[in-house]
Amino acid sequence: MNRKRLRASREDSDGNLWTIIWEGGAYADLVNPYGKAVDVLNFWDYTKDVPQQDAPQNAQELEQLLKEWLDETVIWRHNY
């Protein structure tokens, strides 16, 4: 199993710092500004038992996924 550890952080539109952490397994944790994991992104290919082909290869790619998640969850985060 791939055990690379990637981490990226980004501020949302309200200035809150969110973090995504992936250790090469099935899921990356999305961590709120208080240090609590509140969601996950799935990067696992269960048919091959390896990370998906499009899994992030570096922190910049992981940060882009975090940006997309932040853009998609504006209303949810506002109500969280």
pLDDT tens string 22-75: 998 899 999 999 999 999 999 999 999 988 988 899 999 999 999 999 999 999
> How far is 23 from 5, CA to CA, in rounded Å?
4
Q: How confident is the model at residue 9 (pLDDT cuts 50, 70, 90)?
A: very high
Q: What is the pLDDT of residues 14-24, one digit of tens each?
A: 999 999 999 98
What pLDDT sits at residue 61?
Answer: 94
How far apart, in whole angstroms, are the C-alpha atoms of residue 55 and residue 61?
A: 9
Report the predicted TM-score, pTM, of the whole model to 2 decimal places. 0.86
Tell me what pLDDT residue 1 has: 46
Examine the pLDDT at 80 and tell me if it is beyond 60. Answer: yes
